[in-house]
Chain A
Amino acid sequence: MTNTLTFHFTGAEPRRPCERASTTVTALITVVVLAAAAASVLRTALPRYHVTHQTASWQEARLAAEAGVDLALERLNKNVPEPSADTTDWVGWKTNATTAATGSSLARSNATDITGQGSPTSSSLFGTPPIYYDNIDVSTYSGMLASADIQMRAFYPGADPYKVNPWFQIRSMGTTAVPGPKRAAPDRMDGALRRLSLKAPMRGTLAANDVLTPTTIPFPNASRIVEVIARPIAPFAKAILTQGSLTLGGSTGWEVNSYDSDDPNKSGTGGTYPGDGDSKIQSNGDIATNSSVIDANLAPVLGTVSTNGGDDASTTAHENVLNAGNVDPNKIFSDYNEPLPPPPVPTPSSYRLNPDYTTEQAFAASGSSSSVYNYRITASDPPIHCIKVTGSGRINIFIDTDWDILSGTKAYVEIPPTVKATMYVKGNIAFANGQVNTTDASSKVPGNLVIYGVPDPNVDGSLPARTIGSGGSPIIAAAFYGPSYRADFRGTAEWAGSVACYSYTVGGGGSGGVHFDEALGAVGFIKRFEVSSYFEDSRQ
């Protein structure tokens, strides 16, 4: 603003009142009014502007917390099949401020029975003390400071050491800096939702998540806690699982269903398959393939049917399952992706002397659930057909060659109820008309006979295609896992347990089927860990 004041003085003439200047006053008033208006606008706008920062930081805090969960899961999956083994990598993790964590920190032997410690349990629960991974820098590329504090505990939901069941509770707190002043949001509802730590930790109990070194993220900051329960994925989680093609039996009476050998209300006498049509039959006989199509062949499937793609989401039909007339369309999925890694094979330093199995002499088990007897049949040994086990405890039998059970009275595998047997087979497997863990003296419980088809590379390193199948009417109670095995059964084959292989085909007539034992979910090696439960703890 420019003002020009002109005064004309002539002699001693008095100054005229009407020409007195008020411009300065006017300008000051204008400035004050404008400043007041601007202050009012800023007073309203700035807190809102800060809320934008607070919101962004709050979002980042969740990402930081989930990054902590990812770090824990990554370490768990890196350390499969046995995270509690001495050889596992727990670098950076601590049991307290000074002691580094090892696999044994999470071992069953380090777990105590916490049943009854205020826990409403219906079964034994063994838990280890937590291990910590603190103040992990997960700052963003944009420079926003962020850290994660992680706690992890192993829980064993049963007393049976034979079952691979360490579950893990992962608790991660993500903390991020909040740009701007230590000022609460203008709306109380924002404060109630985001609960920022402006001058001191808003959530006192967060200290429990930060047991080692306190977080270095300055105030104001935003913290969020995510708690995850991670469960082990065993190799026998499906009735049938294949890497490639999967074709079910098409004859009348052939079906896939489930039962639970651990539950008398869901199984027959002694945990056996209750029989087709029995009221104890369950509907968790899931089948899945990593390929894009399954030929259901009009077989009833009491469970989910999953492929890896192949279904056009824009149509109501399920293109990924052919001949699905007896499959619940609501249980057809196309998002399955679960590769079949090679099974871990133990390498004992020595083997016990084989009995004369050609004359049906029995293999003796270890006599204890905490030890195992190892036997090995090599290509230079006499061919093995029937297998009989006595005693109690555990037994491993390594078969380096083909295993044909043949037919007739000697076509059997006998595993007493007191024995847990594991077989590692490198050659082809034929069950002919055999009774595999289903003789009168056997338990008929699939979890008591686990058979691994072991990859046996050729000289050039390639994997030969192995087969497992039957040309007759075998009755099998076992869990089989062989990523390189092609399964080819007749429709008369009756299998209680689980089959995981490269491909699976049923040909010919017969009222057999696959009856998944839900108790197998805790048997075998750990393939990986996945999130069983996710919860954001918004109150602490």
Chain B
Amino acid sequence: MNGKVNERQTNSVGGFSLAELLVSLGVTSLVMSALMVGVVSLGKSFKATELYSKSNSAQIRLIDAMAMDLRRAVAISITTSPDSNPSSTSNTSTRFAYRAANPAENIKTIRDGTFDPVTLRVGGASGPSTYLTLQIPGYYKSNVASTANYRQATMLMSTGRTVCYGSSTGSGIAPYVTVQYRQGHVSKYGSQCYIRREAGVDTVVAELTELIDVDITAKSDGSFVVDAWFTPTFSNAGHKTTARVTSSDRVMLRNPRTD
């Protein structure tokens, strides 16, 4: 190497030739495209993971809440609501227990009849809704959250031969409290939700449940199995039935059934 050669080379650094520019542009485009694809893919994966995580939390929360109520229930029934209204007088309830003669009736899906699970659209269907309806002991003095005795237990009373919870109204045995689980659209959350209604007061137990299904199965030993599953939104999740994530809990009733 000598100075002349270096000078020539230095002079040529002043710009790219067209070919060099095209090549560098091409390479840059390829790299950027790959980066973009990667970023988008990462974003999708991140979102799917987050939804998976949220759905999994909701699924477990839902099962835990239902299992807690089932465990303390004294009566269990399935309510069919033709007009998908929990307060409708058209609703009919049927005692839910294992039936050897009709195995298909031993499993029930809690569903919103107005929700189309294929298009994931509320109002896309018009079938009857199915709710799980339980009766639990009347334990609290009040079921109104804003009242002071909302968390206070009623006093025990005697029927002369037995001991039981007394009514908060001051006379007689405390009536059972109705707890109902249903699925429905809640505008506050802008999504399908699972709703727990206790003594007429609704509480959302799980939001974003478009992809979550809940089944209750009556078993021959008197127990109940709560199954909840959802379909992850990963691109390679495949068909719903093969990719679903299921959690379940088997609940032995603690109280003798009164229904």
Interface residues of A in 488-540 (CB under 8 A from B): 519, 521-522, 531-540
B212 in the interface (beta carbon within 8 A): no
Determine if A41 and B46 form an interchain contact, defined as CB atoms under 8 angstroms apart: yes
Q: List the B side residues contacting A169 at CB < 8 Å.
A: 156, 163
Determine if B57 and A51 form an interchain contact, defined as CB atoms under 8 angstroms apart: yes
Instruction: Name 20 extra pairs, CB < 8 A, besides A119-B166, A120-B169, A537-B139.
Output: A41-B49, A119-B157, A120-B167, A120-B171, A122-B159, A124-B158, A125-B157, A187-B57, A189-B58, A189-B207, A190-B61, A231-B162, A262-B160, A313-B98, A313-B100, A313-B220, A316-B100, A535-B139, A536-B68, A536-B72
Bound-complex Cα distance A114 to B205 (A): 39
A32-64 interface code vs B (CB 8 A; 1 in, 0 out): 000001001100110010010001001100000
Q: List the A side residues contacting B234 at CB < 8 Å.
A: none
Q: List the A side residues contacting B151 at CB < 8 Å.
A: 205, 539-540
Bound-complex Cα distance A194 to B60 (A): 12
Give chain A nearest CB distance to B162 CB in angstroms. Answer: 6
Bound-complex Cα distance A13 to B6 (A): 10
26 intermolecular pairs with C-beta atoms under 8 Å apart: A18-B13, A40-B46, A44-B50, A48-B56, A48-B57, A55-B60, A119-B155, A119-B166, A122-B157, A123-B158, A125-B156, A125-B163, A155-B163, A157-B158, A157-B161, A158-B158, A187-B61, A189-B207, A229-B156, A262-B161, A313-B100, A313-B220, A533-B137, A533-B255, A534-B255, A536-B71
A251-295 interface code vs B (CB 8 A; 1 in, 0 out): 000000000001000000000000000000000000000000000
Q: List the A side residues contacting B154 at CB < 8 Å.
A: 120
Determine if A538 and B57 form an interchain contact, defined as CB atoms under 8 angstroms apart: no
Bound-complex Cα distance A41 to B150 (A): 40
Give chain A nearest CB distance to B258 CB in angstroms. Answer: 11
Q: List the B side residues contacting A127 at CB < 8 Å.
A: 156
B197 in the interface (beta carbon within 8 A): no
B65-102 interface code vs A (CB 8 A; 1 in, 0 out): 10010011000000000000000000000000010110
> Which of chain B's residues has its CB closest to A519's CB?
B161
Given contacts A16-B13, A121-B158, A538-B68, contact A48 B61 (CB under 8 A): no
Given contacts A155-B163, A537-B153, contact A189 B206 (CB under 8 A): yes
Determine if A157 and B53 form an interchain contact, defined as CB atoms under 8 angstroms apart: no
Determine if A122 and B68 form an interchain contact, defined as CB atoms under 8 angstroms apart: no
Determine if A48 and B68 form an interchain contact, defined as CB atoms under 8 angstroms apart: no
Bound-complex Cα distance A157 to B162 (A): 6
Interface residues of B in 160-182 (CB under 8 A from A): 160-172
Bound-complex Cα distance A229 to B150 (A): 21
Determine if B166 and A121 form an interchain contact, defined as CB atoms under 8 angstroms apart: yes
Give chain A nearest CB distance to B22 CB in angstroms. Answer: 19
Q: List the A side residues contacting B50 at CB < 8 Å.
A: 44
Q: List the A side residues contacting B202 at CB < 8 Å.
A: none
B10 in the interface (beta carbon within 8 A): yes
Bound-complex Cα distance A167 to B46 (A): 57
Determine if B159 and A123 form an interchain contact, defined as CB atoms under 8 angstroms apart: yes
Determine if A122 and B158 form an interchain contact, defined as CB atoms under 8 angstroms apart: yes
B3 in the interface (beta carbon within 8 A): yes
Q: List the B side residues contacting A315 at CB < 8 Å.
A: 100
B244 in the interface (beta carbon within 8 A): no
Instruction: Categorize the interface residue count of chain B.
Output: 35 or more
Q: List the A side residues contacting B161 at CB < 8 Å.
A: 157-158, 163, 165, 262, 519, 521-522
A20 in the interface (beta carbon within 8 A): no
Q: List the B side residues contacting A122 at CB < 8 Å.
A: 157-160, 171-172
Bound-complex Cα distance A390 to B213 (A): 71
Total A-B contacts with CB atoms under 8 angstroms apart: 153
Give chain A nearest CB distance to B49 CB in angstroms. Answer: 8
Interface of B is mostly: mixed
Determine if B156 and A119 form an interchain contact, defined as CB atoms under 8 angstroms apart: yes
Determine if B1 and A118 form an interchain contact, defined as CB atoms under 8 angstroms apart: no
B31 in the interface (beta carbon within 8 A): no
Bound-complex Cα distance A18 to B207 (A): 57
Determine if B170 and A534 form an interchain contact, defined as CB atoms under 8 angstroms apart: no
A204-232 interface code vs B (CB 8 A; 1 in, 0 out): 01000000000000000000000101010
Residues of B within 8 A of A (CB): 1, 3, 6, 10, 13, 42, 46, 49-50, 53-54, 56-58, 60-61, 64-65, 68, 71-72, 98, 100-101, 136-137, 139-140, 150-151, 153-172, 203-207, 220, 222, 254-255
Give chain A nearest CB distance to B150 CB in angstroms. Answer: 7
Bound-complex Cα distance A313 to B151 (A): 42
Q: List the B side residues contacting A21 at CB < 8 Å.
A: none
Q: List the B side residues contacting A409 at CB < 8 Å.
A: none
A350 in the interface (beta carbon within 8 A): no
Bound-complex Cα distance A531 to B137 (A): 14
Bound-complex Cα distance A72 to B82 (A): 47
Contact of B164 among A117, A185, A194, A229 (CB under 8 A): A229
Q: List the A side residues contacting B72 at CB < 8 Å.
A: 534-536
Bound-complex Cα distance A519 to B160 (A): 10
Give chain B nearest CB distance to A399 CB in angstroms. Answer: 30
Given contacts A189-B204, A227-B153, contact A535 B137 (CB under 8 A): yes
Determine if A120 and B166 form an interchain contact, defined as CB atoms under 8 angstroms apart: yes
A10 in the interface (beta carbon within 8 A): yes
Q: List the A side residues contacting B140 at CB < 8 Å.
A: 539
6 closest residue pairs by CB, A with B? A534-B254, A119-B155, A157-B158, A120-B166, A125-B158, A123-B160
A458 in the interface (beta carbon within 8 A): no
Determine if B162 and A118 form an interchain contact, defined as CB atoms under 8 angstroms apart: no
A99 in the interface (beta carbon within 8 A): no
Bound-complex Cα distance A158 to B137 (A): 22
Contact of B71 among A10, A533, A534, A539 (CB under 8 A): A534
Residue of B61, B101, B203, B220 most packed against chain A (CB within 10 A)? B61
Bound-complex Cα distance A114 to B13 (A): 102
A314 in the interface (beta carbon within 8 A): yes
Determine if B54 and A187 form an interchain contact, defined as CB atoms under 8 angstroms apart: yes
Give chain A nearest CB distance to B48 CB in angstroms. Answer: 12
Q: List the B side residues contacting A40 at CB < 8 Å.
A: 46
Bound-complex Cα distance A165 to B159 (A): 12
Give chain A nearest CB distance to B43 CB in angstroms. Answer: 10
Given contacts A16-B13, A118-B155, A124-B158, contact A193 B166 (CB under 8 A): no
